[in-house]
Each structure stands twice: as structure tokens, then as C-alpha cells.
Amino acid sequence: MQNVFSRPKGLTELPFHYCPGCTHGIIHRLIGEVLAELNIIEDTIGVAPVGCAGFSLDFFSCDFVGAAHGRAQAVATGIKRALPEKLVFTYQGDGDICAIGTSHAIHVAARAEKITSIMVNNAVFGMTGGQMAPTTLDGQITTTSPYGRDCNVVGSPIDLPKIIATMQGAAYVAAVSVDSPKNILAAKKAIKKGFQVQQAGLGFAFISILSTCPTNWGLSPVDSIKWLQQHMLPVYQMGELKLPEEGRNHD
């Protein structure tokens, strides 16, 4: 019998432990496919954050280093500077990269650090039980914004890709989503480009991916997808916000 669907080589055999319907799994699969298709598994070192994504170090078949909360991009910088010929990527939540790790996010872009960072934006702190993140939407109820996020008091959501796209050292910036087959394909393309930009040594590559957190949103997996489409897609600017051609003049 012909095998028509299997786990990509970029993933280990370990079953994902993510909550049912969580789109972390889809994103993992996309990265696993890209690692295999670009034939870079043996030349790649991944950096895992703290948060639900922290377990990713077990799921990818390349070498992996687990960083402290928010520090993945500084750790990735150290790896890349020690091994400039290798591919280095970080896989981080929105809490990790937009809150505690913001300064590193800005500075890897400023340095044109030749790494690829993937941000999984589910608009909450997932692992710690659904607290408000810098990406939480206006009015969104979380455990630390029980009356809904009040932007007059705590500020407005951070659209990190937009900020990073303004920086000279960022060669490729894309904001994608995994809510539909079409968007999943676009997300994979962006992830692939993110690695190719690094291979070409063009500068920092950043891909933000809208993702669901059914558990902390208190919604079914299907309703979570709908919620993402209705509430998150209109707020966050989508698409390729910066392409290598523009980033080139930095070299």
C-alpha cells in the first residue's frame, strides 16, 4: 500500500502534548516539513522558549536548546555567532517575545542577526492559564483582565511584526495565520522563506503566526478558529510586511 501521509522527517515520533484543537500542532508540522524539504535538519539548531511552546524541543528532530523565558533570541544570537554556517531559529509565544523578551526582539532585528524567529500569537499567556498578553485584544477577557482589556489603563495590543518591519536589519517579516487551508499554505511559504533568507545571509527573518488557545479562551476548537477569524484577523496586519529586496540595501 502506498503511504500518502506521514510525519515529516523534521519532527520526532513523539506525539504532541498540546491541548486538543490547539494550533501549535499545525505550526509544528509546517516547520517540520520545511526543515525536511530544505534538507537542513542536520544543520539547524532550534531554540525553545518558556510557555506551551517550550516543549517544542522534544518535537523537532534537529538539535535544540531550551532558553529562559523571553531569552530565546539572545541565546540564538550566541549560537549563531559561534556557528555562523548553521541555521538557527527560535520558536516563541507572543508572551515570550512581546513581553519579557521585547528588548531582544528589537535588538536581533537591529543587529540584522541572521536567525529566523517564529512567534505564535494566541493573544494570551497560554501555559500559565490564560493571563493578559501584550497581544490581548481591546476588551478581551483574560484571568488578569477579568473585565476585559481596558486599553486606556493597560495600553493597546502590540503588533510586533509591524514594528520589526520598520527596522533596517529585518530582511523578511511576515504575519500569517493557520485558521484555514489557504492560510496554512501561506504560512508554510512564509516559514520556508524565513529559513531561505537566513540561508542567503540577508538578515533577520521574522514570522508571526496567529494561533488559537481553545483551553484558555474557553471555546471549542471550531469556535476558536471562528474567534480568531472574527477578532484577531481584523486587528493584526497580515501578509508579507517586508521582503528581502528592501532589506538588501542594508548589506
Partner 1 sequence: MDKRLIKGNEAIAEAAIRAGCKLFFGYPITPSTEIMEYLAKHMPKAGGIVLQGEDEVASINMCYGAAATGARVMTASSSPGFSLKQEGLSYLAAAELPVVVVNVNRTGPGLGGLGPAQSDYFQCTKGGGHGDYRLIVLAPSKGQELYDYTMQAFDLADQYRNPVLILADGFLGQMMEPIEFKERPQLELPDKDWKTDGCRGRSKRKIASYALTNEIGEAHCLYWQTKYMQIKEDEQRWESFYTDDAEYLLVGYGTCGRIAKSVVLHARQQGLKLGLIRPITVWPFPEKAFAPCLNTVKGIVTIELNAGQMIEDVQLAVQCKMPVHLYSRQGGMLPTEGEIWEYVSRVFQLTPPEEE
Ligand X SMILES: Cc1ncc(C[n+]2csc(CCOP(=O)(O)OP(=O)(O)O)c2C)c(N)n1
Contact residues for ligand X, defined by CB under 6 A: 50-53, 69, 93-96, 120, 122, 125-128, 133
Shortest separation between residue 124's beta carbon and ligand X, angstroms: 6
Residue 63 interacts with, from ligand X, partner 1, ligand SF4, none (CB under 5-8 Å by kind): partner 1
Residue 189 and residue 124: Cα distance in Å, rounded? 26
Residue 164 and residue 143: Cα distance in Å, rounded? 29
Query: C-alpha grid cell for residue 85?
Result: 554556517
Q: What's the chain's length in residues?
A: 251
Convert 23-66 into a string of H (helix), E (strand) and C (coil). Answer: CHHHHHHHHHHHHHHCCCHHHEEEEECCCHHHHHHHHECCEEEE
Check binding of 124 to partner 1 (CB under 8 A).
no
Of residues 23 and 40, the one with the C-beta less far from ligand X: 23
Cβ proximity of 148 and 136 under 8 Å = no
The single residue listed with the C-alpha cell 540577508 is 202
Shortest separation between residue 82's beta carbon and partner 1, angstroms: 4
Of residues 77 and 117, the one with the C-beta less far from ligand SF4: 117
CA 239 to chain centre: 14
Check binding of 19 to partner 1 (CB under 8 A).
no
Check binding of 62 to partner 1 (CB under 8 A).
yes
Shortest separation between residue 55's beta carbon and partner 1, angstroms: 9
Check binding of 42 to partner 1 (CB under 8 A).
yes
Shortest separation between residue 22's beta carbon and partner 1, angstroms: 18
Residue 141 and residue 16: Cα distance in Å, rounded? 28
Check binding of 194 to partner 1 (CB under 8 A).
no
Q: Which one of residues 61, 73, 90, 215 is an interface residue with ligand SF4 (CB under 6 A)? A: 215
User: Could you tell me which residues come within 8 angstroms of residue 101 by beta carbon, excluding any fewer than 6 positions away?
Assistant: 49, 69, 70, 71, 72, 73, 92
Residue 96 interacts with, from partner 1, ligand SF4, ligand X, none (CB under 5-8 Å by kind): ligand X
Which positions lie near partner 1, rule CB under 8 A? 12, 41-45, 47-48, 54, 57-58, 60-68, 71, 74-83, 86, 103-104, 106-107
